[in-house]
Structure 1
């Protein structure tokens, strides 16, 4: 039996690092995962590539935002329960406060040119940041032809055929599991690194290769904390249903977003269509244009992209305030939505992470999770293409190719200002290697100038 690993990272330093990561977590899940990897693996060397990717693979299997769950997992790995709570909580806080403030601006001041210009510029930076993240993750995951093949098939499946994300993940996992059990090495071990990439081995990190003592399976701890989290999650839902009835807006928000927390496999992008359909069509909380505005808020602020749900809950409660003052009701709606969306994320991690970490050396499980990582690269590529298509072109059209219907750009509707800003952001990131914050600040200022000059 291996010796226990001591906690050699001071907790105070961990808190400061997680606060820094939270402040820099722009660009959706791909960008956020890249920020975590750069700071935790490359800079701090607290954990290695294999351990990081193993945790990421597990989080990809869970419902909810994988980046926030990855932060919770690694925080737990480093500093036990309090580390997971701090890491996951701080990851949410900046985005929650930013979107709440911008939601107030949205309902009180409307579409101000300065605000529109700000979002215009930030979206250009996000395209470049997501592309950088895709390259970073792909370079460490697609290390042989088999993994490239899985990524390409996943991209084609979701982009051209509209195959649901959970089916892609299931198929990739079965492929990795089967090949590992058959003795093939295509998906064995960690994802490794591509030539020219920076690879940090587990043995060269603070945590090392061994299993921390607190990470060993402890069903008493897992069941105890899971019970507390389950009560914190569902207790308010039951109370609202009992006190206000099922037709009250707060009860509907609590029930709907609790259900969403269980079925949102594949992260925010994979579930946006479902949320939009229900929030716009069934409940009437927001209109379709407002849903796009909410997505712009979430894309342009730090934190998980699924924070767009907070904007939906805010507007839904604002418009059905009842006896409450509208802004007070909206604030409570935003808090409730965030609570029932993210408390389950901590539940999934604390319940399953000790078992998953213990199985890190299991060849078959590692093969399945490595194949899933390759498939996720293809899915992220699809999401990056979708975002660029909708940000760079003011109009798109559907083209039928046999049984397929593809959305393609109308090239005459290329937004030249957005294209120029996006190109500038890419040059800043890839040529001059500027950080995320300077690029976001620069494009935001440029966007405001362009909007005030009526060029955007």
Structure 2
């Protein structure tokens, strides 16, 4: 098997002159590194960067091929932008190409979050650093609120979808229903609605394909470098299942299920299997479990971690590395705390992203069978609608823990909610949050500008002794 990508036959005389030259894996590597370095702004921004570079600039894949790959990735658990990079890398250069593209997509965020996590635990109580994080929390609230509206506009196209979103919010915020059950329930409802042909469950695409402006290396009729041979499923499951789960089994065998490393390995492996709907959707569940169940970190620290992830390249789900870092830092066992924290963060990232390669390498050869499947499209649309409610829960949860210093749990039958203590309201946090919301929604400020301005405001408040 060669590393070069061969494009489809020329469609008309003279078209071959416009076709890009074949690309080797070594030639593709700096392009994937460039995409990784520019992968700010969450999945929407990351996908836009890939589209601009791969489709418009390099003309490596056609518009329809890119969108088909994206639709496939939205069906999978895990960060769809990272999986899209892995898929296109696999499409061009097989397994090695998928590893390069998907691995590089994660690497900048891994290194940045690790460095910032060290700074956080070593200098987090320094006035300047704590002021910066105080300001970041306000910006994060605005960004999450923007995500609710952005996804809601695309997902809630019918009353049924609005009801699903509302029901998911009530289920997770009021009734404390586990996130995986919400995803499974919404998917089942959508699948049945699609099978029944109900128009309320029809799913829209990610956008209409543009007119073909010329030949691509991989057009609609080009075959991938690798195709499924006999025994493909068993080979991929055996290899990548071992890559993912062997470290988990080793940790359990050596340390036992009660150790923090075993808890990290098991919990984030579970998350890797149910993270449908993107990072914002699952972070509400991760935050609740990490803060309330395991006690790994405080609510404000979860906001700090999300602020770090928002300001660094790579998938937003990289915030889980920060969670694993703090969890191991506070329960290091016999290891030095910083060494334990580093290992905890790396273990979290491993079990979060290793399954992403498994899903792509296992399913990519069969994706053509998914094209046009109405029931699966309806299931995805229903899950996306439910995700809107889950993200709204995340926004409310973060807002309560940012603006109020104290919350009091309240229960009545199956209802379980945290009620704010109004006397603990922080006026500076409220003011910064309102300013960030105005910047995002009124003045259309970008994410980086909003984060930078909020962090600077927090620093000034801290240095002035007001917080």
- The CA deviation string for residues 41-75 of structure 1, in whole angstroms up to 9 with x for no partner, is 6896775797477345413xx3x556644554565
- The CA deviation string for residues 339-382 of structure 1, in whole angstroms up to 9 with x for no partner, is 23321232233223443553131111111111111111121122
SS in 2 for 1:394: coil
Partner residue in 2 for 1:300: 308
SS in 1 for 2:204: coil
Confirm whether residue 434 of structure 1 aligns to residue 436 of structure 2.
no
Partner residue in 2 for 1:36: 46
Partner residue in 2 for 1:28: none
Residues 142 and 191, structure 1, Cα contact 8 Å, conserved in 2? no
After TM superposition, the structure 1 = structure 2 runs for residues 63-74 of structure 1, keeping only pairs within 5 Å, are 64=78, 68-69=82-83, 72-73=86-87
Match of 2:35 among 18, 21, 25: 18
Match of 1:383 among 391, 394, 398: 394
Residues 117 and 322, structure 2, Cα contact 8 Å, conserved in 1? no
Residues 269 and 383, structure 1, Cα contact 8 Å, conserved in 2? yes
In the alignment, structure 2 segments of 5+ residues that lack a partner are: 1-6, 10-18, 57-61, 276-281
After TM superposition, the structure 1 = structure 2 runs for residues 245-256 of structure 1, keeping only pairs within 5 Å, are 245-247=254-256, 252=259, 255-256=262-263
Partner residue in 2 for 1:271: 286
- Alignment partners' CA distance in 2, 1:158 and 1:5: 49
- Alignment partners' CA distance in 2, 1:183 and 1:329: 53
- The CA deviation string for residues 81-130 of structure 1, in whole angstroms up to 9 with x for no partner, is 45543443344333322332233234434511111111111111111112
Residues 19 and 91, structure 1, Cα contact 8 Å, conserved in 2? yes
SS in 2 for 1:218: coil
In the alignment, structure 1 segments of 5+ residues that lack a partner are: 26-31, 193-198, 281-285
Cα deviation, residue 221, structure 1: 5.4
Which moved further from structure 2: 143-152 or 207-216? 207-216
Match of 1:336 among 339, 347, 362: 347
Residues 57 and 370, structure 1, Cα contact 8 Å, conserved in 2? no
Q: Relative to 1, partners in 2 of residues 1:114 and 1:410: Cα closer, same or farther, differing over 3 Å? A: same
Cα deviation, residue 426, structure 1: 2.3
After TM superposition, the structure 1 = structure 2 runs for residues 126-145 of structure 1, keeping only pairs within 5 Å, are 126-145=140-159
Q: Relative to 1, partners in 2 of residues 1:277 and 1:212: Cα closer, same or farther, differing over 3 Å? A: farther
- Alignment partners' CA distance in 2, 1:38 and 1:163: 34
Residues 279 and 312, structure 1, Cα contact 8 Å, conserved in 2? no
SS in 1 for 2:417: strand
SS in 2 for 1:186: helix
Confirm whether residue 421 of structure 1 aligns to residue 436 of structure 2.
no
- Alignment partners' CA distance in 1, 2:237 and 2:382: 29
Q: Relative to 1, partners in 2 of residues 1:138 and 1:52: Cα closer, same or farther, differing over 3 Å? A: farther
- Alignment partners' CA distance in 1, 2:269 and 2:234: 19
Length, aligned pairs only: 426
Confirm whether residue 392 of structure 1 aligns to residue 403 of structure 2.
yes
Cα deviation, residue 181, structure 1: 1.8
Residues 159 and 382, structure 1, Cα contact 8 Å, conserved in 2? yes
Which moved further from structure 2: 123-132 or 339-348? 339-348
Q: Relative to 1, partners in 2 of residues 1:87 and 1:144: Cα closer, same or farther, differing over 3 Å? A: farther
Residues 127 and 422, structure 1, Cα contact 8 Å, conserved in 2? yes
SS in 2 for 1:408: strand
- Alignment partners' CA distance in 2, 1:207 and 1:155: 44
SS in 2 for 1:97: helix
TM-score (norm 1): 0.78
TM-score (norm 2): 0.76
Match of 1:320 among 303, 325, 332: 332
SS in 2 for 1:213: coil
- Alignment partners' CA distance in 1, 2:412 and 2:257: 46
- Alignment partners' CA distance in 2, 1:71 and 1:126: 26
